[in-house]
Amino acid sequence: MGKTVLVTGAATGFGRGVALGLAARGHRVIAGCQIWPQVWELRQAAAAAGEHNLEVIKLDVLNGIDREKAFGFEIDVLFNNAGIMESGPIVEIPMPVFRSVFETNVFAALEVAQGFARGMVRRGGGRIVWTSSVAGLVKVPFDGAYAASKHAVEAICSAMREELKPYGVEVATVNPGAYRTGFNDTGMESMDQWWAQGERVVAHWPVRELNHQHDPAEMIAAIIDVIEAEHPPHRTVRPAAAEQMVRREQADAWEGRI
């Protein structure tokens, strides 16, 4: 039986792939895009693909008007996916840049989750699938702002999972590693906007090229599985090599010394 799924950050990357993939599988999908040109473009792409199950709306998660409009939809699953990445050494990154990461990845995403979770509680069921990251589980030098925001997502989801379980509302995370969506590449480049605007005491990225990213189709398929499965895992890390790395690094954290 088809589900009604709302996807944030549906204009590009995993959000777009999951929205189109779910629609092709017969689910009703509400695809939220940040700006109107993205709304138009995704509508054209859906029409060209013959996807009549996809409704595209403007949903900038930072915009309270957009959020309230979206809350008018009654959904079975929220794919809480919208996010940004800003790079740079922790001691150098400008605080407005650091705050912007938390505003989108944590505070706005939480407001979206809260709004839909209340409706799910009243109806006695639902599922929230939240895009976290491998960066939410391990250390990520030179990308500490993004990693910190995803560590916060992990904590929020752990709490929500237990708090909402008695009401039939399920919470899961998906944790992508490095995939070829362009998100990581532009996120690494983002620090160039401010790096030359002041004196720096800590080094720049030692390596900028991302030559070993994976095909995003793998992660998109895994996310669709989490949305559709009757009993998906609490956490889904892909690729497999990233899961192995996370498990090693978390174990090593107990043994490390400064």
Residues with catalytic roles: 146
Task: Please enumerate in sequence order all residues whose Cβ is within 8 A of that of 200, keeping only pairs 6 or more positions apart, or say none.
Answer: 92
Largest pairwise CA distance in the chain: 58
Residue with tokens 């799924």: 5
Query: On the CB side of 159, how many CA atoms lie within 13 Å of its CA?
Result: 8
CA distance 114 to 117: 5
Task: Please enumerate in sequence order all residues whose Cβ is within 8 A of that of 222, keeping only pairs 6 or more positions apart, or say none.
Answer: 174, 236, 238
DSSP assignment of 61-111, as one string?
TT-HHHHHHHTTS--SEEEE-------B-TTTS-HHHHHHHHIIIIIIHHH
